[in-house]
Chain A
Amino acid sequence: MRRIVPIGPYHPLQEEPEFFKLIVEGEKVVDLEINLGYNHRGHEFISPTLTWDQVPFLVERICGICSDSHPYAYVLAVEDCAHIQAPPRAQYIRTIIGELERIHSHYLWVGLAGHFIGYNTVWMWVWRYREPLLDIFELIMGNRNHYAINKVGGARRDIKPEDYSTIEKYLNLVEEKTKMFTNAVLDDPVIHARLEGVGILPLQDAIDYAVLGPTARGSGFAVDVRKDDPYDAYDKVDWDMIVFPEGDILAKAKVRLLECFESIKIVRQCLKEMPDGPIEARVDDITPGEGIGRHEAPRGEVFHYVRSDGSNMPVRHKVRAPSFMNIASNVVAVKGYSIADAALVLAAVDPCYCCTERTYVYNTKRKRLYNGQDLLELSRAKTEKYRRRYGK
């Protein structure tokens, strides 16, 4: 018998409202419908009413977690449109902030994944050591979030040479702790049993749905804008793209954890090789034309397209966040797995996602079977079962 399990649209734990309609047969998920648009804020509509320099502050507020990615992609788009080149020092500064942001965003995901499967220790540890990263942001830009570092033609704030040693000190701490979590997560047989072979997204589906970021790289689809279309300082530093072919949640977790080390490597090299000089180029006017900017955000490629008619405002500004492509692939990833895995599989793409709390499962006589709390309990009970099996 088929039943519908609605997940969403509002949830206090995760951020954004989305609505997943899981169609289940017994415990098995057979199909998924996705509804979006519960929190439509009209950025593409507002953007053409603002001047070129005001838009970064607007797009920064699209996402609170990756609040550097959107303005970064936007300024790259405008620079492409008007053929402006940011000075080298500004390029290095923007690269550093982009990479620090990647680490803190991956930490968030690891913590939440731990929370979903009932490993609250992982959650608390990881989020505890996310704080030093936010301290670095505060040190450089005065803000722990919404950094306002990107500007058409450069960076808004400089990193002072006397702060390098403090940043280095924080980075050492972060590196040490990342090693600790990576070992703790990857050596744990229970986490292995829970994540391995679950929510597989095959390579061909990854290509067809054009998924991005760690979701793609965990399926063996090697897409990384930083390597493919290098911008700013990314082609001047040495780092590796992390790709795993399995496509399950464990592969995605491995990609994210190991990417933190690559990001630390990039930040260190940037700090060491940072050139001197001005941090912004003079921008006289934005010539008519069109430009595309893309930045590898923690979740994948952020895409911005702007069109200019020579005035002080964009005519059209298109924004595409990576979750737009990644969430659609859930239709493939969640099919055939048990309902206890669904919450985790849906969270595996690291969506700006919402909701298990207000979930209710009804049978055809409108008798309540599960709600969101029950789903979390189901997920945790499964972990507990494995934990007992492995004698932990």
Chain B
Amino acid sequence: MKKEYSKDILEEIGKKFPDAVVKIHAPRRTYIRIPRDKVPALAEFLFKDKGCRLSIATGIDTRDGIEILYHFSLDESGTYYNIKTIIPKDDPQIKSIAPFLPAAEWIEREIHELFGVDFIGHPNLIPLLTAETWPENLYPLRRDYANEHKDLKLKKKM
């Protein structure tokens, strides 16, 4: 039997975080847009109070800035609560959620190296996937990368 998603959580989020904008895409897929400084509080609410599991986070380079989605899955009802936030490219930083949620450590490191977003308060923000010789300030999943990589030269290894 398919379970129905619970509207209560969305109502509770609406009360606790008045600037959250909720969009219901499908019965079990919801998206919550929120300013970046509220993300850790909302993530903590979903993880600690509601027992959601962090599936993963996604970074997207858009016109308005770098968009980060945190995909939280509530397994009791099979619903996704996706936290969406936009980070301006000239000030790419956001508070890390890794201090209370170890599952986010690796994905924040990945977004850090692929999009150049700084996660403030992350315990160990070193590159996860790229080589040690990867040049600094070159972010492969940003839109402007395609033009830059023609001149890409890896640094000589020490």
Contacts and interface: CB of A to CB of B under 8 A. Distances in A.
The secondary structure that dominates the A interface is mixed
B48 to A, nearest CB: 11
Contacts of B21: none
B128 A320 contact: no
6 contacts: A36-B128, A225-B78, A294-B55, A303-B55, A318-B58, A325-B103
Given A36-B129, A228-B75, A305-B71, A45 B103 contact: no
Nearest to B51: A207
Contact of B26 (A36, A44, A80, A307): A80
Contacts of B60: 307, 315-316
A301 B60 CA distance: 22
A208 B101 contact: yes
A148 interface: no
Contacts of A62: none
Interface in B1-36: 1-2, 25-26, 28-29, 31
Contacts of A294: 55
B1 A235 contact: yes
A127 to B, nearest CB: 32
Contact of A80 (B29, B31, B76, B79): B29
Contact of A320 (B31, B55, B76): B55
Range, interface on chain A: 35 or more
Given A230-B2, A290-B25, A328-B106, 15 more contacts: A37-B129, A37-B130, A40-B129, A80-B29, A229-B73, A229-B79, A235-B1, A292-B29, A292-B82, A303-B71, A305-B71, A320-B55, A324-B107, A325-B103, A328-B102
| Interface residue SS majority, chain B | mixed
Given A235-B1, A325-B103, A328-B106, A207 B53 contact: yes
Interface in B119-158: 127-131, 140-141
A328 B71 contact: no
Interface of B: 1-2, 25-26, 28-29, 31, 53-56, 58, 60, 69, 71, 73, 75-80, 82, 101-103, 105-107, 127-131, 140-141
Interface string A309-341: 000000110101000110010000000000000
Give the 5 A-B CB pairs with smallest separation, nearest first: A229-B78, A37-B129, A210-B103, A318-B58, A320-B56
B58 A45 contact: no
B98 to A, nearest CB: 11
Nearest to B102: A208
Contacts of B78: 225, 228-230
Contact of B131 (A37, A45, A223, A229): A37
B105 to A, nearest CB: 7
A68 B152 CA distance: 35
A57 interface: no
Contacts of B28: 229
A209 interface: yes
A289 interface: yes
A292 B80 contact: yes
Contacts of B58: 305, 316, 318
Contacts of B127: 37
Interface in A273-308: 289-292, 294, 301, 303, 305, 307
B145 to A, nearest CB: 9
A37 B128 contact: yes
A40 B131 CA distance: 9
A257 to B, nearest CB: 24
A146 to B, nearest CB: 25
A15 B80 CA distance: 32
B51 to A, nearest CB: 8
A83 interface: yes
A209 B1 contact: no
A287 B56 CA distance: 24
A45 B26 contact: no
Contacts of B55: 210, 294, 301, 303, 320
Q: Name which of A222, A229, A307, A324 has the most chain B CB atoms within 10 A of its CB.
A: A229
Given A37-B131, A44-B141, A45-B140, A305 B69 contact: yes
A170 to B, nearest CB: 31
Contacts of B103: 208-210, 325, 328
Nearest to A39: B129
A320 B69 CA distance: 13
A202 to B, nearest CB: 13
A312 B96 CA distance: 35
Interface in A130-144: none
A228 B55 CA distance: 14
A42 B141 CA distance: 10
B26 A210 contact: no
